[in-house]
């Protein structure tokens, strides 16, 4: 991990800790470690991968232990669950109510959160016109990130 990336993770972790403290949320050592591992992951990370990541520090734990920590982190907006991958990413705007869409690279797994209510609102308002009652919205777009798209183009190809 680069120094800049490590500094960004430290800032985001400090922000999460401050948010938890100001809202009287118990960011236990395990929850903090799970959140830090999600931050450090370069792509969405699943519960079993989190277990493996945490094993050197915490030893083997039952999956329910990590799932409880994940439930807390999702419920309080620290992380988002990527439905299509049953994996988790850190929220880019802790403490700011928002709905998110996700851009996910099929090749490298990089995932970018795009916060914003406009698309979600448009879909929610359009659904009743089609006789559809929305219970939950999940917007996940898959494709290629800029790096993978560039790497996939033949040399000399023009855009």
Among 79, 91, 73, 94, residue whose Cα is nearest residue 15: 94
Give the pLDDT confidence of 105-131 residue by residue, as tens digits: 999 999 999 988 888 889 889 999 999
Tokens of 152: 């996939």
Do 60 and 123 belong together in one domain? no
Give the pLDDT confidence of 69-87 residue by residue, as tens digits: 999 999 999 999 999 999 9
108 is in an annotated binding site: yes
**Model confidence, pTM:** 0.85
Contact criterion met (CB below 8 Å) for 79 and 73:
yes
92 is in an annotated binding site: no
Which has more pLDDT, 49 or 1?
49
145 is in an annotated binding site: yes
Quick count: other Cβ atoms within 10 Å of Cβ 148?
15
Do 12 and 58 belong together in one domain? yes
Provide the pLDDT for residue 6: 78
Do 47 and 77 belong together in one domain? yes
CATH of the domain at 55: 1.10.10.10
Q: What are phi and psi of 49, to 5 degrees?
A: -70, -35
Instruction: Give the number of domains in the chain.
Output: 2
Provide the pLDDT for residue 116: 84
Do 114 and 83 belong together in one domain? no
Do 31 and 71 belong together in one domain? yes
CATH of the domain at 153: 3.30.1490.190
105 is in an annotated binding site: yes
Do 80 and 145 belong together in one domain? no
Do 81 and 43 belong together in one domain? yes
Tokens of 28: 């236990």
Do 19 and 85 belong together in one domain? yes
Do 103 and 87 belong together in one domain? no
Do 103 and 126 belong together in one domain? yes
Structural domain harbouring 153: 98-159
Provide the pLDDT for residue 9: 87
pLDDT at residue 156 above 90? no
Long-range Cβ contacts of 69-75 (<8 Å, 24+ apart): 69/28, 69/30, 69/31, 69/34, 70/34, 72/31, 73/31, 73/34, 73/35, 73/38
Do 108 and 152 belong together in one domain? yes
- Greatest Cα pair distance, the chain, in angstroms, is 56
Provide the pLDDT for residue 1: 57
Pairing of strands 139-143, 100-105: parallel
Do 109 and 63 belong together in one domain? no
Structural element, H or E, at residue 7: helix 3-22
């Amino acid at each position: 991990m680069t120094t800049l990336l490590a500094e960004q993770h430290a800032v985001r972790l400090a922000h999460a800790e401050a948010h938890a403290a100001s809202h009287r949320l118990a960011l236990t050592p395990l929850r903090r470690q799970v959140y830090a591992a999600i931050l450090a992951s370069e792509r969405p990370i699943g519960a079993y991968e989190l277990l493996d990541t945490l094993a050197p520090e915490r030893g083997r734990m039952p999956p329910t232990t990590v799932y409880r920590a994940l439930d807390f982190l999702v419920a309080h907006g620290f992380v988002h669950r990527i439905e299509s991958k049953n994996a988790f990413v850190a929220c880019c705007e802790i403490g700011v109510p928002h709905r998110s869409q996700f851009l996910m690279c099929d090749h490298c797994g990089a995932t970018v959160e795009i916060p914003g209510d406009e698309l979600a609102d448009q879909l929610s308002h359009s659904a009743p016109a089609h006789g559809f009652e929305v219970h939950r919205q999940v917007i996940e777009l898959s494709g290629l990130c800029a790096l993978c798209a560039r790497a996939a183009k033949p040399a000399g190809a023009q855009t």
